[in-house]
Structure 1
Amino acid sequence: MQRYFIEVAYTGAGYAGFQIQENAVTIQSEIRQAMAVLFKEEILLTGSSRTDAEVNALQNFFHFNFDQAIQERHIYNLNALLPPAIVIKQIIPMAANAHCRFDAISREYSYHVYKNKNPFLYNQAYYFPYTVNFDLLQQAASAILTYTDFTSFSKRNTQVKNFICHIAESRWSREEDHMVYHVKASRFLRGMVRGLVGTMLQVGRGKVSIENFHAIITGRDCTKANFAVPGHGLFLVKVNYPSDYFMLQS
């Protein structure tokens, strides 16, 4: 039995998230259905990173075991069966013990925000028509780098017991007519990026001071953070594995 990784990209609009759910259409359920049609059997998929409803991904992975050799034509056929919002970029043969979730060493996200109405950013960024102090945003983003406990930015009703995340990158950039928050970490908690962005935007508007932003982080109370930003502005950019991981595993 051969293990394979599937690299996928997708837009999340209209989907209930990445992971399969009962009575809901998700990225995983669409890919499983396409594989069942093509290969005439149900194939179990394990995902590397969960994304919430409406969230997009430039890169995400599944792994699965299969007793047939996957050919380039299979990728073409699967993409023909999948809806336009989902693409399989490649299918990679791996070692039997390779695990797309547990072997990942970090993940990168971006969150896109725009001020002026723009139909080309609709459903791909958060329309936030307010004046924001960009320097204050950067101060808040830099402050995040000094902490490891992000209990305040994990939504309630999570099964996670450890709230420690090691942040390698946290910054804002200006890109044409919108702003982008970039963050890279060893792991992310449920709702974490949206909580960080929502709270930082309140800093940028002067609603929350930098001092209070620090206090929100150290307070370990998610009711003090602002999670009220939509999922469609969020992108999973990259899932990182150790250097030469794919070359060594294949």
Structure 2
Amino acid sequence: MEAQKKHRYFVELAYKGTNFHGWQIQPNAISVQEVLNKALSTVLREEIETVGCGRTDTGVHATNFFSHFDTVTEIRSQQSGVSNGESEIRNPQSIITHDRLVKAINALVGYEIAIKRFIKVVPEAHARFDATSRSYEYHVHFVKDPFKLEISYLLGSQPDVELMNKAASVIMQHTDFSCFSKSNTQTFTNNCKITRAEWVQVEGGLVFHITADRFLRNMVRAIVGTLLDVGKGNLSLNDVPKILESKNRSNAGESVPAAGLFLTTITYPYL
């Protein structure tokens, strides 16, 4: 029997990571990937396995995230002559409309995950390897606020923002970030190219913006912790290049809590 033609799609989504053990499937814990795979498999009536643009840790959020998957079902932007919407969902070999699929998957994944759109791509397109840059934000606030619980880090006092931005500029001049990476990670290199690292003052707090071609595990939270140590006076500006050159994680600051971290932008050359 001739194999059915597969179509590859990107799915763009957002999620609040508080109640998930990160993006990637875990043996004994709920993850965003597991929930999405189950929803897609249920609606498309075939086994679907998604591949994410990266992995986020437990409690980390994403306002912009992409994954790809393959399916025998064709997703079209409009009805294109197909009259029975219900039969589209029940029959995995049929044509299904984009809007109907978005609504169907959103109904199954729960309120903490939001499906934005599906994008037809070439069979070789890859959500992780084709991404050219990624951007994160880290949010901190200074006054206790129950509405910022799980989405921002409460600091007791405001650090020196100017000094932290000077330290961030020093970090941008380097490419080896071994000192900010978790140990025993399966990476061939710890080199990254950072194109933005900046603290911005907002009402009641600060937001740290960082963009790079790639990130190491725990890298952003370790950088934020180190910069906050500079802003609090626990580290000097001269300590920062020494920490980077040491390539030793124990010399850098402690990782800040996951709650304030958001993956905000993934860029591709063809989207």
Structure-1-length-normalised TM-score:
0.95
Give the paired residue count: 244
| Distance in 2 (alpha carbons) for counterparts of 1:102 and 1:37 | 27
The residue number in structure 1 matching 2:125 is 98
Of structures 1 and 2, the larger Rg is shown by 2
Counterpart check, 1:34 vs 2:61: no
For 1:10, which of 12, 15, 39 is the aligned residue?
15
Q: Secondary structure at the match of 2:238?
A: helix
Task: Identify the match of residue 69 of structure 1 among 66, 74, 93.
Answer: 74
Question: Could you say what secondary structure the match of 2:120 adopts?
Answer: strand
Matched with 2:50 is 45
Among candidates 201, 218, 228, match of residue 245 of structure 2: 218
2:60 is the counterpart of 1:55: yes
- Per the normalisation by structure 2, the TM-score is 0.88
Q: 118, 121, 125: which is aligned to 2:148?
A: 121
Identity of aligned residues (%): 41
Where do 1:184-199 residues align within 5 Å?
Answer: 184-199=211-226
Counterpart of 2:230, as a letter, is: V
Q: Distance in 2 between matches of 1:136 and 1:85?
A: 36
Q: Using the TM superposition, give the Cα deviation of residue 217 of structure 1 relative to its aligned residue in structure 2, in angstroms.
A: 1.0
Aligned equivalents of 1:35, 1:4: Cα separation in 2: 12
In structure 1, list runs of 5 or more residues that go unmatched.
Answer: none
The aligned counterpart of 2:110 is 83
SS in 2 for 1:120: helix
In structure 2, distance between residues paired with 1:219 and 1:55:
28
* CA distance in structure 2 between the aligned counterparts of 1:178 and 1:42, rounded to whole angstroms: 45
Give the letter for the 2:71 counterpart.
Answer: F
Of stretches 115-124 and 177-186 in structure 1, the one that deviates more from structure 2 is 115-124
RMSD of aligned C-alpha atoms?
1.0
In the aligned structure 2, how far is the partner of 1:93 from the partner of 1:99? 12
Q: For the Cα contact (< 8 Å) 1:191–1:227, is it kept in 2?
A: no
- What CA distance in whole angstroms lies between the structure 2 residues aligned with 1:17 and 1:25? 8
Q: Cα distance, 1:94 vs. partner?
A: 0.8
1:134-173 matches, cutoff 5 A: 134-173=161-200
- Deviation of 1:41 (Å): 2.4
